[in-house]
Amino acid sequence: MVEHPQLPPSDPVARILAAIRAVPAGQVAGYGHIARRAGLPGRARLVARVLREHHAPSLPWHRIVRSDGAIAIPRTSPGFDEQVRRLQREGVVVINGRVRMPAVDSPDTLDAALWGPASRR
DNA sequence: ACGCTGACATTGT
DNA sequence: AACAATGCCAGCG
A17-42, pLDDT tens digit by residue? Answer: 999 999 999 989 999 999 999 988 88
Q: What b/e sequence results for A84-95 when a residue is b if at least 16 CB atoms lie within 10 Å of its CB, and e otherwise? A: bebbeebebebe
Distance A4 CA to C1 C1' (A): 49
Distance A65 CA to C2 C1' (A): 18
Containing H/E element for A15?
helix A12-21
- pLDDT, tens only, A38-89: 988 889 999 999 998 887 888 999 999 999 999 999 888 888 999 999 999 9
Question: In angstroms, what CA-CA distances link A22 with A30, A56, A75, A95?
Answer: 13, 15, 26, 25
**Near strand C (CB < 7 A), which residues?**
A 12, 42-46, 49, 68, 98
Q: Which strand C nucleotides have any atom less than 7 A from protein CB atoms?
A: 1, 7-11
- Rounded to whole angstroms, the Cα distance separating A58 from A60 reads 6
- Rounded to whole angstroms, the Cα distance separating A11 from A81 reads 32
